[in-house]
Amino acid sequence: MKKVICFLLAGILSAVALTGCGAGRDDDEGNVQELAQIEIYADDGRLIDTISDEDILRRFSSLSYTDIPVEDSEQDELASAVGNLTEVCTIVIYKAPVAVYNDGTLEKLMELTIYEDSNIVKEQFAPESIKMFKIPEEFLVFYSTVSDEEKNFMLSLAEINK
């Protein structure tokens, strides 16, 4: 049962992430749900940088960090592996709200935690990014692996070379 729930949640959350981050621009009115801002925090919680450059955001949204293994055993294996790793930085991803009338406040979509000497990334979706129903936070944390190129790009945003 847990495997089915995780599979469904991974599918829903990936769809939300891809819709929020990877959707193309509509020339007439713009895409109201595109990736709007990235904040990079050091391992000690200090804000390193805030990025809102459209080219960088577009490149970031094309990363494949949403390829989440859905098997419980794979998730457990990755989760136990990060227990021994040192965090390098956390990337907080924001999207523009989808409401027609909004105050311009960005909505937090997810946090990505990058680890030293590993290509494992911890993905923690923001509970507020799921509007249809409330999901317990333990079901909003996933682990995936990224390529060296993708990890280097993410670290380059914070000017960290590890």
Classified as helix, coil or strand, 70 is coil
Sequence ranges of the domains in the chain: 2-157
**Beta-strand relationship, 107-115 and 47-51:** unpaired
Average pLDDT over residues 47-66: 85
Per the structure block, which two tokens stand in for 105? 């406040």
Quick check: 16 pLDDT over 60?
Answer: no
Q: Which residue has the higher pLDDT, 73 or 42?
A: 42
Could you tell me where the beta strands, DSSP code E, fall in 44-160? 47-51, 87-95, 107-115, 120-125, 141-145
Confidence of residue 12 (pLDDT cuts 50, 70, 90): low
23-26 contacts at long range (C-beta below 8 A, 24 or more positions apart):
none
pLDDT of residue 79 exceeding 70? yes
Residue range 22-50: average pLDDT? 70
Q: What percent of the chain has pLDDT over 90?
A: 31
Q: How many CA atoms lie within 13 A of 76 on its CB side?
A: 5
- For residues 36-63, give the mean pLDDT: 91
H helices of 23-130, where?
54-61, 72-82
Give the gyration radius of the chain's Cα atoms.
16
Q: What is the DSSP letter of 24?
A: P
pLDDT digits (tens, 9 = 90+) for 96-146: 877 666 677 888 999 999 999 999 999 998 887 777 778 778 888 989 889
Kindly report the average pLDDT of the chain as a whole number. 77
Q: State the alpha helices, DSSP H only, in the chain.
A: 2-22, 54-61, 72-82, 148-157
Flag whether the pTM goes above 0.85.
no
